[in-house]
């Protein structure tokens, strides 16, 4: 079951970061240590994969793991496909508007 609380550890060419996501009832929401906010959704394919689309809003002055320092608040849409065992500790490549990122997902707990 995909629903639950997740830690996400991610790296890019200029550094690393981490976030916490809640995945519940086709909604994805969360935040990272730099003040970024994640809001999105997912759907499940016939093959059991997860199509994820997240709007990631980043505050002004943030330096991203992809190397850019943002002069003003910025929102990018991130889309990716995750297989059913995406939280297995293996890096998942994610292409963003500002560069590639590798993410490792760890399920922290199921929902109450």
Residue 89 CB partners (closer than 8 Å, separation 6+): 104, 106
Q: pLDDT digits over 70-109, tens only?
A: 999 999 999 999 998 999 999 999 999 999 999 999 999 9
Q: What is the pLDDT of residue 26?
A: 95
Please say whether the beta carbons of 56 and 37 come within 8 A.
yes
Nearest to 77 by CA among 97, 50, 106: 97
Q: What is the pLDDT of residue 1?
A: 72
Q: pLDDT digits over 21-71, tens only?
A: 999 999 999 999 999 999 999 999 998 899 999 999 999 999 999 999 999
| Three-class SS of 3-55 | CEEEEEEEEECCEEEEEEEEEECCEEEEEECCCCEEEEEEEECCCCCEEEEEE
Q: Which residues pair with 51 in a beta bridge?
A: 43, 81
pLDDT confidence bin for 2, thresholds 50/70/90 = confident
Q: What is the pLDDT of residue 101?
A: 97
């Amino acid at each position: 079951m995909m629903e639950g609380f997740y830690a996400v550890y991610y790296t890019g060419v200029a550094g690393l970061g981490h976030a916490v996501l809640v995945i519940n009832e086709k909604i994805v929401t969360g935040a990272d240590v730099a003040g970024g906010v994640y809001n999105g959704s997912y759907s499940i394919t016939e093959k059991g994969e997860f199509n994820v689309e997240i709007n990631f809003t980043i505050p002004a002055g943030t330096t991203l793991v992809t190397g850019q320092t943002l002069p003003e608040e910025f929102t990018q849409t991130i889309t990716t496909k995750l297989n059913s065992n995406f939280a297995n500790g293996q890096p998942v490549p994610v292409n963003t508007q500002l560069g590639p990122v590798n993410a490792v997902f760890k399920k922290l707990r199921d929902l109450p």
